[in-house]
Structure 1
Amino acid sequence: MRSVVLFGSFYALLALPHALAVKSQDFKTCSQSGFCRRGRALAARAQEAQSSWKSPYTVDPSSIVISPEDSTVKAAVKSSLYPEIKFGLELRIHDDGVVRVLLDEVDGLKKRYDEAASWALVSEPKLSKGIRWAAGKKELRAVFGEKNDIEVAVDYDPLRVRLRRGGEDQIVLNGRGLLHMEHFRSQTLKETIEEVASDENAEGQEVLQVENVRAWFEGDSEDAYWEEKFSSWTDSKPKGPESLSLDITFPNHGTVYGIPQHATNLSLPSTTGDSPSYTDPFRLYNADVFEYLASSPMSLYGSIPVMHAHSADTTVGVFNAVGSETWIDISYPTKKSTHTHWISESGIMDVFLLPGPTPEEVFAQYARLTGTTALPAHWSLGYHQCRWNYVSSDDVRTVQRRFDEEDMPVDVFWLDIEYAQDHKYFIWDHKTFPDPVEMTNDVAAAGRKMVVIVDPHLKRTSDYPVYQEASDLDILVKPKSGEGEYEGWCWTGSSSWIDHFNPASWDWWISKFKTTKNDTGFSWTESTEDIHIWNDMNEPSIFNGPEITMPKDSIHHGGWEHRDVHNINGMLFHNNTAQAVRLRSDIPKRPFVLTRSFFAGSQRVGAMWTGDNLGTWDHMAVGVKMVLANGIAGMAFAGSDVGGFFGNPEPEMLVRWYQVGIFSPFFRAHAHIDTKRREPFLLDEPYKSIVRDILRLRYAMLPIWYTAFRENSVTGMPIVRPHYVVFPQDTAGFAIDDQFFVGSSGILVKPVTEKDKTEATVYIAEDQVYYDYFTQYAYRGSSKGKHITVAAELHQVPVLIRGGSIIPTRERPRRSSPLMKLDPFTLRVALSKTGTARGDLYLDDGVTYSHQQGDFVWREFVAEQSHKKTTRISSKDLASHNPGKAVDGIALTTFDPKNAFAKEIEEVRVEKIVVLGLNSKPRSVNVEGGAELKWEFVPGVAASDKKEGVSSVLIIKDPKVLITTDWAIVIS
């Protein structure tokens, strides 16, 4: 769902809202943003000055203080532009090698916002001990790491911070001299300086010389220091200029990824330098963008200021913990280096340098900082059916019935804003939803859930208890005066917003989701534990606000301006909502909360989607790239609206979009209120049957997805993995963003995102066999990389299994995923060219947190050759050997393979094993130490062959082995 700009009265707007489109002039470009103009102008002056340019920031060597207890170092920093202004530098080295660099103004007229990291970090990082800092005449340095090959060096004059590995610079801060922390000042300062400079005396001339130097660096005018206008709005800027400019250089890395959310390529295009791809910087400023472009550096709904820099040799990363609006310029001066320039409106410099040196280690380092994706409820990985809007209880029941009649699986039905009376969230419109609890129970009877929207704007009326309680508690965002309540306009009309930065709001908000009456006022008694939540519009989206959001001079708890916390704001809303859903029952259950706005750390509590996309081929394609980019930045539970939010996609496009959707971590179809109904059961044949098969494929593969989520929850590795993550040394694959792997399962997917395609080109980076998931055709890669052509008729989605993988699936069609709990498994054993394979399977109850007490099953499957004519396929318990690595954040020292959950599913068996690529027909197949099994063999190409063709297939029927026990099958 999406807001619209207010033209005239609010009620006139509601009469014709959906034909309007927000134009590009509704959002700022860099040239319309004062601090961005200042930052870019600074870079332009540096470029013009070239070798004569020098950063004015220097370290005072005499001020260096080294703390031997925790290996931190502090020093005073001064700027030659303003000798009277003091800055403090601090470096901390974490025990995993991450280096944190902080710079803040000391004893300034005001305090800079320094709490962004506290919201993003999962906990205070553990610092390394025993690192020796050496303070020389020109630099301060420390060497650390397991191999003592990592070095951090701080140059004194000018200030420069360098992270090195093996003697080579990996990350450089202020290497180009663009660091500038605008200090707090009095608005009368300029007038005083002008008066002094006008005096014809030595002191006046000296001041004039200083002003000339300042103008050389800062510019000769106060550009939007104290006030800024955009369209009809005025930003008062009571604190004056406080922006932070910082250049971050990757001298030995020619590709960068990350900084979502943007609709663009995975490997980030240039914005400056020779022939830039975009003329504006990438912007991080959470915004409600109507019908966003499919290729643009414009800001969208979420902002994660993390960037990976990659080369064939190493991968490094930076996490810039800043919550204010930020613009990022990127250029590639050579094929092997990258320049970036980060310009933020407010905040301190708080940058985490992630040394890698592999993608896996960068993901782990970032995950230790901001956390991993919480292991979701299993049902939330199924198919979600949504539109704006299902109009009544009967409508919901009819949609559910039609899914069942057409044998199409679905797990969740969604309700948009029209369920709520006058858009007062939690309050059902009983004219259309007279029986919400009974309706939800009818849905739940088939093992399904409901998701209901709860937006952050509260209707300002005394008969809305949620608003009235928040007003009485004084926990609403305040206007720039700091008094009263900020008032804006959204779906509810006149609205106010809860200030989730105020700790007093937290327990109160949690109490609203209780399904029984409580002593704290209103609670959602017309709800059940089968209702989960969708947080939309939480950028926040405000129809009559500048750039359709909250004025930057609005006031939050602690006196902070909205400009300081804008990008963090949406995360606090969905974090508190997730806590509320988790704690509404006596036994906490895993919440599902979908958010549109997000920040670093949001992955800990919920899923996201890419917002209000269009039903076009371009938006389908860029959605794949956006999901990959979010995964790189830790926001792994991601997806795009299947079919596009706007428009009426033709059947071919809709089929292709479902093929994209089933290979997204979050899988939801959604549509605008003005679109035609497009539930999959409404399609004509053959499209309906094709989509039915697509949905069933998603459900068959749920064990693969859930196992990938477990790995992500422990390691931080993305759930859908770009090529460079799997093959980090393959330079030909650095820019590939239209194919990806699902977890470490070995599943390689190349969605078709173009019209009228009947085949697809897939890139294979290695000398390995890859099998078509459906036809068992064996393709051959090359050590030099190779493009292959695969069939992609409309009913076909290119899916390959990497040789050396074992894929667990559940093949029995069910109406919803909870009904699959006791279903048997099929194992696909895709032999590598050396005749080996491996895979794993993770299972738990999928609902509660009992897995944190050790109630789960984690199995490893291995295929190996004892000699050329014998293959042994075995299953063993993984958790007993790796108890501390089984579940995120749980310090299991021992594991009981006969735990309560394992006993629940102890009768679940493997009903079929399919082995691809055997060299020849077996003489016998039996359970080790047991009788001969029933099997069939179809001859074909062997994994060890060099030719292509349909592979040999061995099908072992009902091997009579259980999923929870150790066993082995011998193929002789």
Structure 2
Amino acid sequence: MRSWSFLGVLALLLVNESSAFKAHDFKTCSQSGFCRRGRALSARAKEAKSSWVSPYSVDPSSVHISPNQAVFTAAVQSSLYPDIKFGLEVRIQDDGVARVRMDEVGGLRKRYDEAAAWALISEPVVSKDIKWTTGKKDTRAVYGDKKDIEVVVAHQPLRIPLLRNGKEQVVINGQGLLHMEHFRNKIEPATSTEEPAPEPEEGAEGSGESQTVLKVENPRAWFEGDTEDALFEETFSSWTDSKPKGPESLSLDINFPNHGTVYGIPQHATRLALPTTTGSDPAFTDPYRLYNSDVFEYLASSPVSLYGSIPLMHAHSTESTVAVFHVVASETWIDVSHSSEKSTETHWVSESGILDTFLLPGPTAEDVFKQYTRLTGTPVLPAHWSLGYHQCRWNYVSSDDVRTVQRRFDEDDMPVDVFWLDIEYSEDHKYFMWKDKTFPDPVEMTNDVAVNGRKMVVIVDPHLKRAQDYPAFKQASELGILVKPNSGQGEYEGWCWPGSSSWTDFFNPAAWDWWKSLFKTEETPGKWSWTKSTTDIHIWNDMNEPSVFNGPEITMPKDNIHYGGWEHRDIHNINGMLFSNLTYQAVAERTDPPTRPFVLTRAFYAGSQRFGAMWTGDNLGTWEHMAVGVKMVLANGLGGLSFAGSDVGGFFGNPEPEMLVRWYQVGAFAPFFRAHAHIDTKRREPFLLDEPYKGIVKDILRLRYTLLPVWYTAFRETTTTGMPILRPQFIMFPKDKAGFEIDDQYYIGSSGLLVKPVTEKDVREAKVYLAEDQVYYDYFTNVAHRGSAKGKEITVPAALDQLPLFIRGGSILATRERPRRASSLMKRDPFTLRVALDKSGSARGELYLDDGVSYDHIKGDFVWREFVAETKKGKKGLRLSSVDLGKAKPQEAVDGVALATYNPQNSFAESVLKDVRVEKVVVVGLSAKPASVKVEGSSEELVWEYTSGVASNEKKGGKASVLVIKDPKVLVRKDWAIVIQ
């Protein structure tokens, strides 16, 4: 085993972590052989224009329809290589999604085909109502409740469109860029002693293929190019990729002929509506890259691949929303172009893998999210405390430091739920082992935090220090579960925080139980585990791209070997998800029965939403990074990963107080709310700020806690529907074209809250776009603004202590207004209902509650209420009622599990919420002062106050009327009604 000197490691780490983004550390398309080949293929097609024809075609005689009529299979041939066989399969699922698969048949080697097995929650159910019909030119299936969806497999050339009402929604191989590079053996050049093969004379007949290949007039050159480009070996900087399997890339064009805007394919630091990468005036000259990478201080506008990869793209128009989920785990480059305002062309080039693509027909955004999460799972319902405020830096230096930070939060009466520890807690970066000198009492420290109703999160990275006195490494080595080098023998060795390191291969089933055993907090005979820990410690998985400081592109060599003989190139983008998946299971299973874990991951893939939260990585303390962080969190939500946020304040840098205040406003309205900072930054905990900044941040923190019931209710919704928690304009108003590219304001779930964070210096006014003829109330002042059916931009005040936050008319919010130092101390607090009436005088809202830590909610132990304010026909006044949604909608699910046995008198409702009441009702927007306010069925007049409104000003709006009902003494868990006459 090679050892590394301390100074050498330290120098490497400082180089890696102390300077800005270095473009030379990461490939561009022009430096990636398979991307060059893919883009060159596209260039030849564009040059040839209408004469370009895909060489792939279906053999009509091979077409076979399964007995249940749902599955189409056929043989596919390429005219370039008649001897190479491909198999095509098209399945129609019971929700209308079409799955297209193509693989090489009988090839020299096997292509990686297991990506879907990791991403999908189960094998999708095939529809029983499909009938394929085969003609001379194509085979097609018509389906859907209205028989309005059609999938066509055109035979020659192969082309697969999905249509709705006769209009093409998604088209595969419409431009003829499909190319599955088949496996082949490397042909070694002739030795010097051999005679060179003679070139045939011009016009000569009978020249064989081997001779023709030597000539520039290669008949395959029109498609593949006339030179071999990095097929069997490739060098980048000082690293050489041996490519033992040779070329195996997959090129695929996916077009949206009737959709002019596309979103998704996170993670990239760019606008939500994806800018173009090709054409005469591209926003970026490189394609978007999906290749999980440790990109320190990434650029705030770039197609460069970041920490996670979700190969899901949404396409939107005023008529419909559709999507494609291209299930590939290898490095992938995606070009986006717009041939017109109404259509989008995309070109996907992946290094390896089979073609396995799901066409999601929509036709609404809500339908697309349901279709996608049926495949990959809905986001998990998190522990309630994890929605509070998280305080972190690299590093709190000792257990006393942690205690001091907690004490300072309490002295300044600032709420916080979680304190975090970065890598310096561990002895020589050997995770699970505390540094005794600075953390001599980790269990006592954690208990001191827990006694105040709080938790801790501690980092556990995937690299294991190669040291025989480190039990985790020693056990992994003995079990043979470490990633292997390209020889397939021994253990791969690279550099990370501990110096010489190896990585657990989580694709190996033998690693699973072992990894989970490490997190046990009690001693197990014959096993080593983290006994100096408690169940109040949760986990942060960082560096899991994986990050390898001395590896190509700061990651693992592509020709490393994983379980099953697969190369790292095949599974790279899935690697990090397996790490957080096993950690999530490990933390859940520390207790019996299991409790909800919190796991934060940096690397992710499709399906990672099932295992917790993510953050946007090592951002900078700049206004640009603050702004793009909002867009990135929105994009992650479109990828199914709603539990997301950016480091408040920026990971690196020392933000001025104004920037820090604005960043707290941004963070408080992200699903995951954490402040974090680099080891070289000044301490910037909110209690260290001078006034007025400290007071402003304190108010922001309290606002977050006031709104926790709104956030938790939004999380319940996303666990059942897959709809993102943060919703951009195009989801809320799909027919309003003016909102398609708006990505600096958003809505929180179905709550009706509209947020417009301020992300620019010295800004004291904000422009907010209202897409509908509806009233919007300022959350803090009750000033009413009326939108327009044609869309309307309003200007609102945005002083440093003012966050543009609005309640959409027609919404009811349930909040908890009593200040507490942690969310766990709020569970028996009363509620305030804020009723924001729409222009017709009605409103509705929801509230979901459970114990926030166990899985008892799956058994039906929860309270789920609907609040409705409406005027009965023929009657005056307003009736505000509470209805049991658990009873009204027993078929709905939480965490994807159907609730078969809901009981309104469940243990949670009868214990924790037994006496929890509504202590205040605020009704905004009444047309006149009421004469009477009573609980229905009671003759007793409630205590109330009414403030009339101020006439609306077209420019500034007008203050709405406000009715405040004091302590109506109605219980949250019960049905009731308040009548306002």
- Structure 2 length-normalised TM: 0.97
Partner AA of 1:583 in structure 2: E
The 8 Å contact of residues 724 and 749 in structure 2, kept in 1 or not, is answered as yes
Determine the C-alpha separation between the residues in 2 that align with 1:6 and 1:95.
59
Compared with structure 1, are the counterparts of its residues 945 and 825 closer, same or farther at alpha carbon in structure 2 (3 Å cutoff)?
farther
Determine the C-alpha separation between the residues in 2 that align with 1:8 and 1:280.
37
Q: Does residue 506 of structure 1 match 2:512? A: yes
Query: Match of 1:76?
Result: 75
The 5-angstrom pairing of residues 568-579 of structure 1 reads: 568-579=574-585
Q: Does residue 910 of structure 1 match 2:909? A: no
Query: Match of 1:919?
Result: 927
Determine the C-alpha separation between the residues in 2 that align with 1:58 and 1:787.
52
Secondary structure of 1:554's counterpart equals coil
Q: Does residue 116 of structure 1 match 2:115? A: yes
Determine the C-alpha separation between the residues in 1 that align with 2:814 and 2:585.
33
Deviation sequence 1:550-597 (CA, Å, 0-9, x none): 000000000000000000000000000000000011110001000000
Q: CA deviation at 1:892?
A: 2.1
Determine the C-alpha separation between the residues in 2 that align with 1:37 and 1:719.
38
Determine the C-alpha separation between the residues in 2 that align with 1:617 and 1:236.
43
Query: Match of 1:204?
Result: 207
Query: Match of 1:620?
Result: 626
Determine the C-alpha separation between the residues in 1 that align with 2:678 and 2:451.
28
Q: CA deviation at 1:206?
A: 6.1
Q: CA deviation at 1:485?
A: 0.2
The 5-angstrom pairing of residues 154-173 of structure 1 reads: 154-173=153-172
What is the total number of aligned residue pairs between the two structures?
968
Q: Does residue 136 of structure 1 match 2:145? A: no
Q: CA deviation at 1:6?
A: 12
Query: Match of 1:678?
Result: 684
Secondary structure of 1:425's counterpart equals strand
The 5-angstrom pairing of residues 749-898 of structure 1 reads: 749-866=755-872, 867=874, 869-898=876-905
Query: Match of 1:952?
Result: 961
Partner AA of 2:680 in structure 1: D
Q: CA deviation at 1:73?
A: 1.0
Determine the C-alpha separation between the residues in 1 that align with 2:850 and 2:283.
47
The 8 Å contact of residues 918 and 953 in structure 1, kept in 2 or not, is answered as yes
Query: Match of 2:389?
Result: 383
Deviation sequence 1:461-508 (CA, Å, 0-9, x none): 100000000000000000000000000000010000000000000000
Secondary structure of 1:100's counterpart equals strand
Query: Match of 1:177?
Result: 176
The 5-angstrom pairing of residues 508-587 of structure 1 reads: 508-519=514-525, 521-587=527-593
Secondary structure of 2:281's counterpart equals coil
- Tell me which of 877, 900, 907 is aligned to 1:900: 907
Determine the C-alpha separation between the residues in 2 that align with 1:636 and 1:173.
29
Determine the C-alpha separation between the residues in 2 that align with 1:142 and 1:189.
47
Determine the C-alpha separation between the residues in 1 that align with 2:198 and 2:262.
47
Determine the C-alpha separation between the residues in 2 that align with 1:510 and 1:888.
22
Determine the C-alpha separation between the residues in 2 that align with 1:168 and 1:17.
51
Determine the C-alpha separation between the residues in 2 that align with 1:6 and 1:262.
36
Q: CA deviation at 1:519?
A: 3.8
The 8 Å contact of residues 796 and 956 in structure 2, kept in 1 or not, is answered as no
Compared with structure 1, are the counterparts of its residues 174 and 196 closer, same or farther at alpha carbon in structure 2 (3 Å cutoff)?
farther
Compared with structure 1, are the counterparts of its residues 158 and 349 closer, same or farther at alpha carbon in structure 2 (3 Å cutoff)?
same
Query: Match of 2:85?
Result: 86
Partner AA of 2:89 in structure 1: E
Determine the C-alpha separation between the residues in 1 that align with 2:597 and 2:14.
36
Identity %: 72
Partner AA of 2:107 in structure 1: G
Determine the C-alpha separation between the residues in 2 that align with 1:941 and 1:20.
55
Partner AA of 1:217 in structure 2: F
Query: Match of 2:96?
Result: 97
Q: CA deviation at 1:127?
A: 0.7
Q: CA deviation at 1:70?
A: 5.9
Deviation sequence 1:109-135 (CA, Å, 0-9, x none): 000000001100011111101311001
Secondary structure of 1:384's counterpart equals strand
Deviation sequence 1:696-731 (CA, Å, 0-9, x none): 000000000000000000000000000100100100
Partner AA of 2:270 in structure 1: T
The 8 Å contact of residues 326 and 344 in structure 1, kept in 2 or not, is answered as yes
Query: Match of 1:693?
Result: 699
Compared with structure 1, are the counterparts of its residues 18 and 32 closer, same or farther at alpha carbon in structure 2 (3 Å cutoff)?
closer
Determine the C-alpha separation between the residues in 1 that align with 2:850 and 2:195.
72
Q: Does residue 299 of structure 1 match 2:305? A: yes
Query: Match of 1:41?
Result: 40
Query: Match of 1:638?
Result: 644
Q: What's the C-alpha RMSD, in Å, of the aligned pairs?
A: 1.9
The 5-angstrom pairing of residues 47-446 of structure 1 reads: 47-69=46-68, 71-188=70-187, 198=199, 202-204=205-207, 212-446=218-452
Secondary structure of 1:342's counterpart equals strand
Query: Match of 2:475?
Result: 469
The 8 Å contact of residues 919 and 944 in structure 1, kept in 2 or not, is answered as no
Q: 87-96 or 947-956: which moved more? A: 947-956
Secondary structure of 1:202's counterpart equals coil
Deviation sequence 1:124-175 (CA, Å, 0-9, x none): 1111013110010000100011111000001111100000000000000000
Partner AA of 2:49 in structure 1: Q
Compared with structure 1, are the counterparts of its residues 519 and 154 closer, same or farther at alpha carbon in structure 2 (3 Å cutoff)?
farther
Secondary structure of 1:198's counterpart equals coil
Determine the C-alpha separation between the residues in 2 that align with 1:569 and 1:832.
48
The 8 Å contact of residues 508 and 520 in structure 1, kept in 2 or not, is answered as no
Determine the C-alpha separation between the residues in 1 that align with 2:857 and 2:807.
30
Q: CA deviation at 1:21?
A: 3.5
Partner AA of 1:880 in structure 2: K
Determine the C-alpha separation between the residues in 2 that align with 1:943 and 1:117.
55
The 5-angstrom pairing of residues 661-672 of structure 1 reads: 661-672=667-678
Deviation sequence 1:430-475 (CA, Å, 0-9, x none): 1000000000000000110000000000000100000000000000
Q: CA deviation at 1:884?
A: 1.9
Deviation sequence 1:675-711 (CA, Å, 0-9, x none): 0000000000000000000000000000000000000
Secondary structure of 2:218's counterpart equals helix
Deviation sequence 1:795-846 (CA, Å, 0-9, x none): 0100000000001000000000000000000000000000000000000000
Query: Match of 1:494?
Result: 500
Q: CA deviation at 1:389?
A: 0.1
Q: Does residue 964 of structure 1 match 2:973? A: yes
Q: CA deviation at 1:190?
A: 8.1
Stretches of structure 1 lacking an aligned partner (at least 5 in a row): none
Determine the C-alpha separation between the residues in 2 that align with 1:6 and 1:544.
14
Secondary structure of 2:720's counterpart equals helix
Compared with structure 1, are the counterparts of its residues 44 and 770 closer, same or farther at alpha carbon in structure 2 (3 Å cutoff)?
same
Q: CA deviation at 1:947?
A: 10
Q: 381-390 or 874-883: which moved more? A: 874-883
Q: CA deviation at 1:203?
A: 2.9
Q: CA deviation at 1:948?
A: 3.5
Partner AA of 1:674 in structure 2: D
Determine the C-alpha separation between the residues in 2 that align with 1:31 and 1:133.
43
Q: CA deviation at 1:883?
A: 1.2
The 8 Å contact of residues 919 and 943 in structure 1, kept in 2 or not, is answered as no
Q: CA deviation at 1:945?
A: 12
Deviation sequence 1:718-761 (CA, Å, 0-9, x none): 00000100100100000000000000000000000001111100
Determine the C-alpha separation between the residues in 2 that align with 1:766 and 1:17.
49
Compared with structure 1, are the counterparts of its residues 685 and 206 closer, same or farther at alpha carbon in structure 2 (3 Å cutoff)?
closer
- Structure 1 length-normalised TM: 0.98
Determine the C-alpha separation between the residues in 2 that align with 1:385 and 1:891.
36
Q: CA deviation at 1:207?
A: 5.9
